[in-house]
Structure 1
Amino acid sequence: MSNAAYGLLGAPLAMAALPLFVQLPAYYATHLGVALAPLGGVLFAARLIDMLQDPLLGYLLDRAQAQRRRWMALGAAALALAFAALWLPPPAVAPGAWLALMLVLAYGAHSLVNIAYLSWGARLPSALGPVAWREGMGLAGMLAASLIPAAILAADAAQVRPRLGAYSIGYALLLLIAMFALLRHAPSPATSGDSGSGGNEVNSWRDTVREVAGNRALRLLLAPYFINALAVAIPATLALFYIDDQLGAPHLAGIFLACYFGAAACGLPVWTALARKLGPLKCWRLGMLLSVLGFCGAALLGTGDLLPYAAVCIAAGAALGADLALPPVLLAAALGERLGPGTGFGLFTLLGKLALALAGLSLPLLAWLGYQPGAGGGTHLLLAYAVLPCLLKLLAIATLRSPT
């Protein structure tokens, strides 16, 4: 059960990540009245700050392995507070300003805990086993985060705030239990001195930059990872707008998200097993191709096409399992002996959050093109939500190459 003790933290981390990247933009636009253009600007700025801090956090965590547990506990406490604050802005404060401030705090705390958590897993003896538990629990957390907030926000307006408060308390308790399981019962990660590297890890920021620049296997992963992350981030930002205005089914948003993440949870062990036979690189290509096939269908849908969209969610969700499980395995193999996992995962999270920052700009772009939430979908929303991600996925497939 040691892998389970390690993997449990994936659930609350994912439960925080889903609102940050998917639900809060629509919540602040439709429930709190923040216009799309300033909302997109806030998302872009907060995600840009979040992106820039990740390599530094990864580097510092590699240098301070003895204090990793303490920093993870402090980061978890800050994350629990920021999570509640994002759902419950004070009535007297402008919601846009509050969102900007709390997003910076939430992103920073989440990054600190997540990078340390990923580095912990990378230093465990097996790669695929801990990753499967972590991502499986993460998908369980995403399922909970898909259904519970959607049910709360669909309730009577007078009940929304107290129920969001109870949800935030429940989240804090889950995060506390998961952190306790990790710190007390998960296997301890190897340190630099006993990881088999012979003490050859780099010891300065300049050495780290030079080592990354000279690592061909790592460099070959960065472009396809970023392009694929952008292809995932754009529809994640626009999903609730698409469900509300293109399909006319806001009451089913939680069900569609649950189909998506449920399919990812079911697909995760399949991709993990398939990677052992075909290799993670080939499996990742197949996963991206499956995602393209799914999103092509989304471009053809309109009001009332609920079952076809559920099929799209299942296909795209199954493909998401490959995006979750396989890039970390490829990264761990590409790092070599001298680069620490904190540095490597800091680079990956930097690129992922750069993609999220750029995806936030899709909101002011759509506003400039004439789209307004609640006024129906249209060509521009379809192109942004479905067609553009397909093109980006195909580009990621074309740029993904073997280092040998």
Structure 2
Amino acid sequence: MTGAPRLPAFGLFAAMLAAAGLPLYIHAPKFYVDEYGVSLAALGTVLFALRLLDVVQDPLLGRLAARLQETRAVSVAVAVLTMAAAMVGLFAVEPLFAPLIWFALMLTLVFSSFSYLTICFYAEGVSSAGQLTGQGHLQLARWRETGALLGICAASVAPVLIGGYGGFALAFAVLAGVAIRAMHREWRGARVDSGGTGFLTVLRDPVARKLLLVALFNAAPVAVSSTLFLFFVESRLQAPGWEGPFLLLFFLSAALAAPFWGKFAERAGERRVLLIGMVLSILSFGSAVWLGAGDTWAFGLICLASGAALGADMTLLPALFARRMADISPGASEAFGLWSFVSKFTLAFAAVTLLPLLEAGGFEAGGANGAEALWLLSLLYGALPCVLKLLAIGLLASIDFGERSVRG
């Protein structure tokens, strides 16, 4: 296949992929608590256990992506269809056996497909960006991450807009079919390292290692807020019914801001602009600690500002990592298995720690909660992300992008 990549196709595929990622951590736990009475602690444990599975399977999926290089379009289509079927099973099908086990099985299919698709998609992006004129990695990142944010926007509010979670799952299946069709000509069989050395290449490189740590601590605040968002709006703000509008405002703000962060970074440099976005995120999250019942307008402003900050995170940090991969190992698809694992691990770790902690602190989803339980919810939702962001800022500021890769 020749010719420049079609960037809108990358944006659409990213939207589909993102709709199956972060929104699951927003919707699935509360859905299974409300519909089937599964405990928060049990759900958090399952989510974390599935992420431990990724430690084993992500390297294998990276190697599989390398071996299926010549038939990548077909393997991607199979993975997308598997993920769509599992989403329908998760939300639109009554569990065929114990709800917790059904939850675990469907999520295993979703997460495994998600991992494989992320590895293929980002590896293909590194190759395709090299065919663009100018700062190709930033151009592709703007389309890809803006598409991802729009996908998250749609998935976050879909249960409210299209008749519940069953409608959301069916709409996702339709989006999956459209994404397969739009992207099928863009799988160009980019050269990949079939020797299974991609992980080692990344881990030996000091800059790549630090970028992965930045990604870990930088993604954790969004993981925390996503895990607790519905509970915070319902119980702390006492604003049931506002969840959809707030989620839409948050992710739409991120999507609209992402192209501007990218343009700004082309002039001022990715790291400098990313640091500005991270400081904005701290100011936003910190303000949420002091909110109480009825503070809906104030929380709307926080959603607007923190969403704009997320646009910088999702556009610039992947672009930095992709650029480094283009320099040290352009064919290492396994490297993007690490990137995928880091982002998913933060969501799972947030679930396994925060949900049981809330339950132990006396918080009851949908019930009457005392002042101490609500204060704990506020601290976890607003203060903890600030601490994590500060760690990410320190790590990002310490990176010397002139360091050479350590070969071995």
TM over 0.5: yes
Residue of 284, 291, 294 corresponding to 2:284: 294
Q: How many residues get paired?
A: 384
Match of 1:183 in 2: 184
Moved more, 373-382 or 347-356: 373-382
Tell me the SS of whatever aligns to 1:204: coil
Shift of 1:63: 3.9
Shift of 1:190: 6.5
Mapped pair 1:40 → 2:44: yes
Question: Which aligned pairs between 1:97-136 and structure 2 lie closer than 5 A?
Answer: 97-124=101-128, 125=131, 126-136=136-146
**Deviation per residue, 1:183-208 (Å, 9 max, x gap):** 13x4x54732xxxxxxxx75533x44
Q: Unaligned 5+ residue runs, structure 1? A: 153-159, 193-200
Shift of 1:344: 2.3
Distance 2:17 2:138 in 1: 19
Residue of 316, 329, 333 corresponding to 1:338: 329
Match of 1:397 in 2: 393
* Paired residues of 1:89 and 1:98 also in contact (CA < 8 A): no
Question: Which aligned pairs between 1:8-23 and structure 2 lie closer than 5 A?
Answer: 8-23=12-27
Shift of 1:88: 2.5
Distance 1:121 1:223 in 2: 22
Tell me the SS of whatever aligns to 1:37: helix
Distance 1:397 1:122 in 2: 25
TM-score normalised per structure 1? 0.89
Mapped pair 1:141 → 2:151: yes
**Deviation per residue, 1:336-394 (Å, 9 max, x gap):** 24353522221111111221221112101211122111233511111111111110001
CA 1:213–1:16 in structure 2 vs 1: closer, same or farther (change >3 Å)? closer
> What letter matches 2:108 in structure 1?
V
* Paired residues of 1:51 and 1:349 also in contact (CA < 8 A): no
* Paired residues of 1:36 and 1:364 also in contact (CA < 8 A): yes
Shift of 1:64: 3.0
Residue of 227, 230, 235 corresponding to 2:225: 235
Shift of 1:71: 1.1
Match of 1:386 in 2: 382
Match of 1:61 in 2: 65
Tell me the SS of whatever aligns to 2:242: helix
Residue of 353, 357, 361 corresponding to 1:369: 361
> What letter matches 2:44 in structure 1?
G
**Deviation per residue, 1:109-160 (Å, 9 max, x gap):** 12212221121111112212222112222222222112221345xxxxxxx6
Match of 2:253 in 1: 263
Tell me the SS of whatever aligns to 1:303: coil
* Paired residues of 2:119 and 2:333 also in contact (CA < 8 A): yes
Moved more, 212-221 or 381-390: 212-221
Distance 1:226 1:342 in 2: 19
> What letter matches 1:345 in structure 2?
F
* Paired residues of 2:40 and 2:359 also in contact (CA < 8 A): yes
Distance 1:52 1:383 in 2: 34
> What letter matches 1:254 in structure 2?
G
Distance 2:118 2:179 in 1: 13
Match of 1:83 in 2: 87
CA 1:274–1:341 in structure 2 vs 1: closer, same or farther (change >3 Å)? farther
Distance 1:355 1:35 in 2: 21
Shift of 1:302: 0.6
Q: Root-mean-square deviation (CA), in Å?
A: 2.0
* Paired residues of 1:11 and 1:140 also in contact (CA < 8 A): yes
Mapped pair 1:357 → 2:348: yes
Distance 1:381 1:84 in 2: 31
Shift of 1:164: 3.9
Distance 1:87 1:203 in 2: 37
